[in-house]
Amino acid sequence: MSRKSKSPSDAARKPAAKKTRNDVGDTRDDRTPEQRRAEKIRTSGQRETVEAFVVAFVLALLFRAFVAEAFVIPTGSMAPTLMGAHKDLTCQQCGHEFQVGASKERRGPVQNDTVVGGVCPNCRYVNPLDLAGNSNHATFNGDRILVSKFAYTLSQPERWDVIVFKFPGNPKQNYIKRLVGLPNETLTIQYGDVYVRPTGESGQGEILRKPADKVLAMRHHVYDTKEQSQTLIKSDFPSRIQPWRPGATSPPEDSWQIQRGPDGLVATVEAADATQPEWIRYFHHWPDASQWRAAAAGQSLSSVDPYSSRLVTDFYAYDCYVTVPSREVYLRAPSNARMASSTGFEAAYRSGASLDQFGSSLRFGDRGVGDEGLHWVGDLTTECDVELSEDCKELIFEIVEAGVLYQCHLDATDGTAKLMILDGAQELPFQGADGEPIRSVTAQTAVRAGQSHHIRYSNCDDQLLLWIDDDLVTFDTATTFDARSFRSEDENVPHYDPGVHPLDASPFGLAVRGGTATVRRVVIHRDKYYCATNNSSFGIYDYDMNELWALTERNVSFQDIQTVLATPDLWDDFPLWQTRRKVSFELHEDQFFPMGDNSPESLDARCWAGTKRIARLPERFRDQAYAFADASYVPRDLLVGKALVVFWPHPWNEPVPFYPNFSRFRLIR
């Protein structure tokens, strides 16, 4: 049977389907006014939300590109100003809080070395880490900082700014350092200081002097009497603060009395002679490993010479990360390639126990000698809390460098401060901006007999500075000098005169003349020391080792150098000082010279020339991308901005997880 087809008339008689408002060409809207208004509000709100996200995203991109950007500090080249990956410690002996670098753990995909301890910069105790039991001993990421990209659009970069720039050896990588050299200058680094002269001119140049705020911001901890080791007190290990008189070979008993306890050190002198000052001095010494063990075992250390001392050096607690191969701590070396990597601990590892458990596997710092510095630092900042009786006549502060005495005499009757420079009995002149000698440098201060004061005194960068109760004192003339006129290059060495004056073996002294005085705290800081080098291939240090080996006719090691620095009797005989290098760098228009605050561990403008990294770029891009890779400077075009603030240091893991580390939120200075 065949299917009957429909005729056109049948199709015409079928009712047409009803059109809706969505059909093409239909303009009718059957919704109520309320429905139409609700849809309008809904669609306009969605559009505004999308627009707000788009605008916010664009503004964020513009803000990041032109105003400010956040960066994370990966390494310790700017420590202790800025921390890279590190560990936080509190000394088990004296309570001093400090950090040690841990960037070494993150070199490569696998953690081959593990940081297991650190050396306290205050008492030099080797502190073990409790990796298994204390989550705050984990490795923390570096500081998160905010960088202004707009700062150098409106003004020129200033010396001592902390700057971010593109590394000339790899323009894809950001570096952060402190700006030291400016365009059209020739810089010379010698004995830890930096000298500058206009490029193209001859002469020695002038020393770069840091402003007072930068002196304080860039100083390094040496010692604080408030942080005392009770173990050393019980063992009668001699205090670093000792009474002294000219010619004394042991502390006089009828002078200052030193008391140490849990709250720190108190030094008191009564009925001081009105004609002769009574001195206390700082002697830079601490127990060695065997003495720490003896003290822990309850043995007496009273036989140690209280006047034994060594030079203040460029020791960095941050650089003295104590490491061992990871296999001695973990069952399997942790992976750096994964966001989270956990592994069990070796059964033999005693977490938090003495590091003697590792024996010869221990390594102090990158070269194994980080437990002490390699360079003598003579520039110091000292501070004391002093209480003077009504009949006190005078207070004297003294800093010694290269055998020269830099003194500040404070008249307790009228507050007059007088600065003096003495070489033996000879008084040496200060020097004004025009090079003219200045014989008298005085100021009026608030110091008076019968009062207590916090006094800070500094000899840094050939300039003496004085603060009374945290206020910088303004003197009537310049307080600057040129130490090169006091000591030639051959004479600019540590001095020691046993039985007469310890000089550089006791670089700080305080004296009172007349009445009674009490000193409740003494704090010592050192200035930054810039190593003179233009090559980092064998480490960053001052010495020409080939010359030193030739002079001594043997292979002198870094440990030998440290032994000399720690032994005053060797200072005159060992030919170390004459092998210190002097290096110069010439800058021209739009060229800047940055260096890291952690000088021995900083790859910076001193030594990055020749570190061209071209393997990752195609041949056609290399000439342009690495145009400055062989230069000892940063061109203006590679400047990114000025570091402003640490806005997010690492949080703590316990007792409250992710608790903010409030003490390290700060402006970058």
Using alpha carbons, select from 312, 315, 484, 277 the residue that is nearest to residue 399.
Answer: 312
Tokens of 20: 């809706």
The type of residue at 133 is G
b/e code 526-548 from CB counts within 10 Å (16+ = b): bbbbbbbbbebeebbbbbbbeeb
Q: Which residue has the tokens 């009273």?
A: 302
In angstroms, the CA 44 to CA 47 distance is 5
Token pair for 291: 């003495």
Name which of 72, 127, 139, 128 is nearest 101 in CA terms. Answer: 139
Residues contacting residue 416 through CB under 8 Å, at least 6 positions apart: 410, 442, 443, 444, 445
Position 254: which residue type?
Answer: D
CA neighbor of 241 nearest in space, from 509, 512, 514, 565: 509
Cα-to-chain-centroid distance, residue 483? 25
Structure tokens at 209: 């002097």
Pairing type for strands 426-428 and 430-431 reads unpaired
Can you name the residues that pair with 386 across neighbouring β-strands? 453, 519
Rounded Cα distance, 373 and 122, in Å: 14
The active-site residue, picked from 177, 210, 393, 528, is 177
Active site residue 77: yes
423/481 Cα distance (integer angstroms): 14
Q: What gap in Å lies between CA 639 and CA 635, rounded to an integer?
A: 7
- Cα–Cα distance, 528 to 597 (Å, whole number): 7
Are 516 and 272 spatial neighbours (Cβ–Cβ below 8 Å)?
Answer: yes
Cα–Cα distance for residue pair 592/350, rounded to 1 Å: 49
Q: How far is CA 422 from the centre of its chain?
A: 31
What is the end-to-end Cα distance of the chain in Å, rounded?
A: 101
| CA distances from residue 500 to 241, 248, 503, 505, 573 in whole angstroms, order as listed | 18, 7, 9, 12, 19
119 vs 364: CA distance, rounded Å: 9
Other C-beta atoms closer than 10 Å to the C-beta of 23 total: 10
- Active-site residue, selected from the candidate residues 77, 103, 235, 602: 77
Q: Please, is 243 exposed, middle or buried when counting C-beta atoms within 10 Å of its C-beta (0-12, 13-18, 19+)?
A: buried
Of 384, 540, 529, nearest to 461 (Cα)? 529
- Is residue 335 among the annotated active site residues? no
Contact of 500 with 247, CB cutoff 8 Å = yes
Handedness of CA 218, 219, 224, 230 (dihedral sign): positive
* 3 state DSSP class of 590: coil
Asked if residues 234 and 475 have their Cβ atoms less than 8 Å apart, the reply is no
Q: CA-to-CA distance for 373 and 124, rounded, in angstroms?
A: 12
The separation between CA 561 and the C-alpha centre of its own chain, rounded to angstroms, equals 23
Active site residues: 77, 177
